[in-house]
Structure 1
Amino acid sequence: MENTLCIVGAGSTCLAFLHYYTQHFKRAAGGAPKTLFVIEKSEEFGCGVAYSHDLASNLLNTKSGYITPFLDKPGDFFAWLNLNAAAVRDRYPAFSMTIDSYAPRPLFGMYLKSRFKSVIKEAASVGVNVVQISAEVIDVVKHLGGYVVHTDCGVSLKCESVFLMCGTLPGQPLQRAPRRSMLAHPYPVSELPALIAPTSSVAVIGSRLSCIDAVIGLFENGHQGQVTIYSRSGFFPSVRGTQGRITPRYLTVDYFDELLAQNATLTLEQLVTLVSKEIAEHGGGVPEQFQVPQPPEDILEFLRQEIDAAQQARPWQAVLYTTNKVIDKVWALLSEADKKQFLAKYMGVFMSYRVSIPVDNAQKILGYMEAGRLAFIPGEHRILCASDQEVLVAGAQGEVCRYDAVINATGSPRDVSKLDSVLMSKLLAHRAVLANPHGGLCIDRQTYQAINARGVSEDDLYVLGELTNGEFLFTSALDINSTHASRCCEGFFERLSLKHCAPLQAALYAENA
């Protein structure tokens, strides 16, 4: 029987993996699967939910000259823009095509889909057949030295290896009973006007990038009703400055690799010291006594100050972005106690500073607030009840507000038991995978193999992307997931090589015995 491989999910991580797979296949001695099934539940292959077809107001938060899904092709997106300049200008006339611009995410999605086609052609040229299947994977069951992948369309595939690259899976509904007034997520934002009447009062739960997309998408499509953002942490995304990339002096790959080789540990206090030294090294101001930033007391003043500060370089942002290369190593060096403390106390502030927004979108949000069209309510809140016509939300002070519609913009839960995923529910139920207490699934961080409920690595079941956030902390950035895809692919071919060589070595040993 032909050796086959199945990839669940066809987003940017899958695209990167296919690219690296093709490069390794060219050099492989033999034994690597020549048929790769890629199963994607949406109709778009290569872009995932984050970069799918939607409104141009959904902006990237990485500059056009830097973003790429391929580690070995820096500047690939910008090169593609120049090659397709006429089509880009026709489709996105307001987009300024420069190295420092922030492109619409659907435009980046066009690029990813184009590159997906190119990668498939390149794979075919070396003898790798990538078979695309539009379906949702609902179960993966171990069977006779491999796995059977079951889909919702009735197709089942027998594969020797399965790679889960499911992307950002949605959370379970805020209310058990489905209601027309409750939207599980804001995407695609372009469809919100068809679901929410223009004069409706709307509550948006969550204050990160999904919230920004939802709010701007509503107002730019003619929404007239009041919109209110609810944020449990009280934090709001920082605004991206003009700085470029830096070369770190202290937060280096070599430094953290050395600590890992020594089985050393790192405390949160030591990490703060290292980050502070790096910021100072690159011209940033650092207080003598570090204090964890608090949520803004006045959201309007916060946005005004952020927009003003974003007109120049912000060294601390450059330092935070350069940690993409080491964040998985830093996380591995922390104690379990420090990991729990970080997630419980500091994750909100970390995300608000690490995942910034372009100044254009910040100015829009400020404008809506100054006009009285958008409100921001920090603190604990809960949904009291919901019908098809209205939702009642209780705030931190016990106040109850009525809304015509509620949009859940909290993103994908770290806790896999809270995901709205048939596949995850079944994998957990038959103990093929194990939930990581810090988020996602337990994996072997060296091989990316899933760890089952017995604590044993599954030989040919691999996990990449958001489902590994408990092992690596932050897995939402394109370059981070591309790095993991590269490492996983390299390790996969190394193990294939060992398997391929083992019979030959045994034969030679028997011949010489």
Structure 2
Amino acid sequence: MVRMREIAVVGGGGGAVCLLEALSQRSGPPAAVTVFEPSGRLWRGRPYQRDADCILVNLPSRAMSVRAGDPGHFDRWLAAARRREADGAGEDGVGEDGVGEDGAPGKADAAGAAGGSTAAGEAAAGGAGRADPFNAAAFPARTLFGDYLESVAHDSVARLRARGWIVRVLPERVVHAAPCGGGATLTTERGGSHRADRVVLCLGAGAPHDRFGLDGPEPGFVPDPYPVAHTLAGIDPRDTVAVLGTGLTAVDVALTLRANRHQGPVCLLSRQGVLPAVRQRPVAHALQHFTPDHFHALSRRGEVGFTEVVRVLRDELAAAGQGPAELETELASLHEDPARRLRRQLDLVDAPGLGLRILQHTLPVAVDVWPLMPHRDRAELLRHHYRAIHSLCCPMPPSTAAHLSAMSDAGQLRIVRGLHNVSRTGRGFSAVTRDGRIDADTVVNATSVAAHRVPTAAAPLVQSLITASAASVHPHGGLRVRRETSQLVVNGTTQQCFYALGDLTFGSLFITAAIPVIVKLAQEISRDVTGP
């Protein structure tokens, strides 16, 4: 009798769901899958845990499908959720841990299978197809997308089991891994030992980096804003709140304070003061030039420099009857007054130009282009252009921008650039910017994760892999991976049994957390881990 291949998935968040979905759609002999997830956020991960309904996904629902080749999958789930809520569908009782009697995800982790939680039902009724005031697209609550992930996980596991797969979910943290006899041995914090033929690291993203060393026993500092429904609930509504960062996490904090009817001043502080751009009305666009095949053809003649990437983008724009002026204008306006830039971009939600929209369509292709670029160009891009690209390629929904603009117009919200330092004072905090000092009662940390991209809880596991020469650190952060398969790479040698998916691959890859990218990479990993 042929032994089943053992696949270990370390981490049970959105990346694991995308991988299970990809595996469930493949043919081939059955295998055994064990998912290790110690937190209470099985299938949801940190980004999509149950949280305030005002926190929305940043992509239109049609771009959030986790089923490859089926962009309408999430929209159909949303429609079914609304129908179930209208019909008053209930939910079968399961244990609080959401795991079935044999280690499978239970129906509590499959909201779509049984009507979802009360919160999910309310969101489905009031916000599942929520369109912003500009009718640009539906941007559901992020907690509702977490319900969708739970549902997909339940359905994927059911399909796998129907084909003879063994699927287990263990609520344990893996703290050590090492190669062993053509596979790997995993050790959990409880001392359990597990053997696997293939190991996929789906560790998620870490918490914001405490750049100024503000965490400590004294109150007033929020080191990680998620879940915002909990961490921000105790802030005095009259407090002056300083939010460190001006990216999407900082935007979530400002939205939540607004939803909580906060009355005091809110300041978003960062070095550059660049907010995410405002997403325009989506358009359908099939890439003609900016494609993986085209870039791989170019790479056969040598490295693909940044100048060459820009040329191909210009060709893509020209094929759609567009010039580069729109993108050039937006790049030149990054240092525009943030509030003015926000209002200007809100006025362009229905603009006829397609430049920004086409740029955003190229996002999934970035994982193919990035490894083909020379190291010096990648380093230059990260050093000088990362914030610009991230702002334009990962914009916020128009309704979110409208709320921020209203706070700004009312004099409550300030977006401040030139942040140098933040320190505790006798009565709160003091932030030093290039334009002066800002005193605050509360500081919320919404900065980027640490450069190494390793979540704190996963540090022992990653260090064990490095020590065992099964993983190596990329100079730009994260671990080195092979682009085609996401396998770990050490000294140019591909590690046969270890893979990584998500933020841990930053450096080797460029865009690592967007759902379309995760879905694409999960498909590739699923082919490799089930192959010969």
With the length of structure 2 as denominator, give the TM-score of the two structures.
Answer: 0.84
Amino acid at match of 2:127: F
Could you tell me which runs of 5 or more consecutive residues in structure 2 were left unpaired when the two chains were aligned.
87-120, 132-136
- The residue aligned with 1:56 is 53
Q: Distance in 2 between matches of 1:237 and 1:289?
A: 15
Secondary structure at the counterpart of residue 254 of structure 1: helix
Q: Which amino acid aligns with 2:41?
A: E
**9, 22, 37: which one aligns with 1:7:** 9
Residue pair 1:412, 1:419 contacting (<8 A) in 2 also: no
- The one-letter code matched in structure 2 to 1:339 is R
Cα distance change, pair 157–182 in 1 and its aligned pair in 2 (3 A): farther
User: Given residue 22 of structure 1, which amino acid in structure 2 is its aligned partner?
Assistant: S
Q: CA deviation at 1:77?
A: 0.6
Contact 2:275 2:391 in 1 (8 A): yes
Match among 210, 224, 227 for residue 249 of structure 2: 210
Deviation at 1:417, TM superposition (A): 6.7
Match of 1:501? none
- Report the CA distance shift for 1:361/1:428 in structure 2 as closer, same or farther (over 3 A): same
Report if aligned partners of 2:130, 2:140 keep a CA contact under 8 Å in 1. no
Q: How does 1:81-480 map to 2 (within 5 A)?
A: 81-87=78-84, 90-92=121-123, 93-95=125-127, 97=129, 100-174=137-211, 175=213, 178-179=216-217, 180-260=219-299, 262-287=300-325, 290=328, 292-385=331-424, 390-397=428-435, 399-416=436-453, 421-422=458-459, 423-428=461-466, 431-452=469-490, 454-480=491-517
Partner of 1:507: none
Pick closer, same or farther for the CA change 1:425–1:408 going to 2, 3 Å: farther
Match of 2:40 among 33, 40, 43: 43
Q: Against the structure 1 CA distance between its residues 490 and 289, is the aligned structure 2 distance closer, same or farther, given a 3 Å change threshold?
A: closer
| Percent identical | 24
Once the two structures are TM-superposed, the CA of residue 462 in structure 1 deviates from its matched residue by 1.0
Q: 1:159 & 1:138 partners in 2: Cα distance?
A: 15
Partner letter of residue 40 of structure 2? E
Q: Could you say which residue in structure 1 is the equivalent of 2:71? A: 74
Q: Which amino acid aligns with 2:23?
A: Y
- Which residue identity is paired with 1:124? R
Distance 1:35 1:386, change over 3 A: farther
Task: Classify the secondary structure of the residue corresponding to 2:78.
Answer: helix
Aligned-pair RMSD on alpha carbons?
2.6
Q: Deviations 1:15-61 (Å, cap 9, x if unpaired)?
A: 1211222333x324xxx6x3211112322322222122111111112
1:195 to partner: Cα distance:
4.0
Determine the structure 2 residue equivalent to 1:503. none
Render the CA deviation track for 1:200-253: whole Å, top value 9, x for unaligned: 221111111111111111221122222110122221111111132201222123
- Which SS does the other structure have where 1:472 is aligned? coil
Structure 1 CA distance for aligned equivalents of residues 444 and 467 of structure 2? 30
Equivalent position SS for 2:297? helix
Q: CA deviation at 1:116?
A: 0.7
Q: CA deviation at 1:379?
A: 1.8
SS across alignment from 1:162: strand
1:277 is paired with a residue whose SS is: helix
Distance 1:88 1:168 in 2: 33
Render the CA deviation track for 1:96-144: whole Å, top value 9, x for unaligned.
6279311111111111111111111111111112111223332223344
AA paired with 1:189? V
1:293-324 per-position Cα deviation (integer Å, ceiling 9, x unaligned): 24243222211111110134551232122213
Paired with 1:413 and 1:88, the residues of 2 have a C-alpha distance of 41
CA displacement at 1:418 relative to structure 2:
8.5
C-alpha distance 416-224 of structure 1, shift in aligned 2 (>3 A): same
SS of the equivalent of 1:470 reads coil
What's the secondary structure of 1:50's corresponding residue? coil
Q: Which letter maps to 1:350?
A: I
Question: C-alpha distance in 2, partners of 1:10/1:233?
Answer: 34
- 2:114 counterpart residue number: none
> How far off is 1:490 after superposition?
1.0
- Taking the aligned partners of 2:392 and 2:69, their CA distance within structure 1 comes to 28
Greater CA deviation, 417-426 or 459-468?
A: 417-426
Gap runs ≥5 in structure 1: 498-513
Distance 2:60 2:85 in 1: 16
Report if aligned partners of 1:238, 1:306 keep a CA contact under 8 Å in 2.
yes
For residue 28 of structure 2, what is the amino acid of its counterpart? R
Aligned residues: 486
Conserved 8 A contact 1:65-1:98: no
Against the structure 1 CA distance between its residues 222 and 192, is the aligned structure 2 distance closer, same or farther, given a 3 Å change threshold? farther
Q: TM-score, normalised to structure 1's length?
A: 0.87
Question: 1:87: how far off?
Answer: 4.3
Residue 185 (structure 1) shift: 1.8
Q: Letter of the aligned partner of 1:355 in structure 2?
A: C
| Separation (CA, whole Å) in 2 of partners of 1:432 and 1:68 | 33
Question: 2:116: which partner in 1?
Answer: none
Inter-CA distance 76–289: structure 2 relative to 1 (3 Å threshold):
closer
Counterpart of 1:220, as a letter, is A
Go from structure 1 to structure 2 and tell me whether the alpha carbon gap of 1:344 and 1:419 turns closer, same or farther (over 3 Å shift). farther
> How far, CA to CA, are the matches of 1:379 and 1:66 in structure 2?
34
Q: Partners in 2 of 1:386 and 1:151 — Cα distance?
A: 42
The 3-state SS of whatever aligns with 2:387 is helix
Pair 1:418–1:382, CA change in 2 (3 A)? farther
CA offsets, 1:470-496, max 9 Å, x none? Answer: 1221112111111111111212223xx
Kept in 2, the 8 Å contact 1:45–1:116? The answer is no
C-alpha distance in 2 between matches for 1:401 and 1:333: 44
